[in-house]
Amino acid sequence: MKVFEFLAQHNYCEGLLLFTALIAFVFSWRHYDRNRAFRIIPYYIGACLLLETVGFISYVSPRGDRFVSSLELISTIAFTIFEFCVFSLLILHYIAGAARRLAIKLNAVLFFMGEIFLYLRAFPRIPILRMCQLELIALVPPCMIYFYELFTSMDTKALKDRPSFWLVTGIICLGVFSLTSMLTFMYMGQFGDGAYALGNLFYCILFVLFMRAYKCNPQEAPAGLLADH
């Protein structure tokens, strides 16, 4: 039963990730019209489920299948870039300062330039690990900009009532842990599988925080941003 073997990987964290992602996917579609800024989230979770499907295909395929290996590699790169774009757009929606919004956009440009540089430098090999690490590093500045603006603003609205707070908290937790595990993975030896399992758990936490953000009343775009429009 290959399906159960696949779900039981990493101390059943693979199955837990799929279960949580499916719940979050259905939940996000049910609340699709609740928050306009979150309308991209169902597509992101759907992309995550597609990546898991490719992982299952790779798991049940014979070792050394070049087509499946290439499919998994391309899917991982596409998901990495899509994930960065989704997270950046979600954060950008809640940034008011013109200079800080520009900084996030420039950060995105630098990310794409860095990914292209890494690809061309290693061609014909694909430096998938370094490309994923770059994504996680590039997500730190937008998150830091969000928290800086959050804690220096005069808005007295409670953090628990801000959908953006739950959203960005999930992103920064996922990014910091994933980057740490990637940088230390080669030194973990027999504990490497446990680190991968924790990575899946942080994706589960991300999806739970997404659902928590949906439960908040929709947060208006910052006043400065509305004025620009």
- The answer to whether residue 130 scores a pLDDT higher than 70 is yes
How would residue 187 be classed by pLDDT, with cut points 50, 70 and 90? Answer: low
Please name which of 80, 14, 87, 85 lies closest in space to residue 53, comparing C-alpha atoms: 14
Look at residue 227 in the predicted model and tell me its pLDDT.
Answer: 43
Write the burial class of residue 106 (CB in 10 Å: 0-12 exposed, 13-18 middle, 19+ buried).
exposed
Model pLDDT for residues 150-175, shown as the tens digit of each residue: 888 766 678 888 999 999 999 999 98
Mean pLDDT of 118-126: 86
Q: 7-21, 62-76, 105-119, 211-225: lowest mean pLDDT where?
A: 211-225
Look at residue 14 in the predicted model and tell me its pLDDT.
Answer: 81
Please name which of 226, 229, 89, 115 lies closest in space to residue 168, comparing C-alpha atoms: 89
Largest CA distance in the chain: 59
Model pLDDT for residues 59-110, shown as the tens digit of each residue: 888 887 788 888 889 999 999 999 999 999 999 999 988 999 999 999 999 9
Look at residue 191 in the predicted model and tell me its pLDDT.
Answer: 58
CATH of domain 2-223: 1.20.1070
Cα–Cα distance measured from residue 204 to residue 3, given in angstroms and rounded to the nearest whole number = 20
If you average pLDDT over every residue of the chain, what do you get? 85
Cα–Cα distance measured from residue 166 to residue 168, given in angstroms and rounded to the nearest whole number = 6
CA 147 to chain centre: 18
Please name which of 61, 41, 85 lies closest in space to residue 212, comparing C-alpha atoms: 41
Look at residue 226 in the predicted model and tell me its pLDDT.
Answer: 45
How would residue 228 be classed by pLDDT, with cut points 50, 70 and 90? Answer: very low
- The answer to whether residue 148 scores a pLDDT higher than 60 is yes
> CA 150, 151, 157, 158: dihedral to nearest 10 degrees?
110
Q: 6-10, 21-25, 84-88, 90-94: lowest mean pLDDT where?
A: 6-10
How would residue 16 be classed by pLDDT, with cut points 50, 70 and 90? Answer: confident
Look at residue 137 in the predicted model and tell me its pLDDT.
Answer: 93
Mind spelling out the 3-state secondary structure of 100-145? HHHHHHHHHHHHHHHHHHHHHHHCCCCCHHHHHHHHHHHHHHHHHH
Look at residue 190 in the predicted model and tell me its pLDDT.
Answer: 56
How would residue 4 be classed by pLDDT, with cut points 50, 70 and 90? Answer: low
Look at residue 78 in the predicted model and tell me its pLDDT.
Answer: 94
Please name which of 223, 170, 188 lies closest in space to residue 41, comparing C-alpha atoms: 170
- The answer to whether residue 208 scores a pLDDT higher than 90 is yes
Helix (H, G, I), strand (E, B) or coil at 13: helix
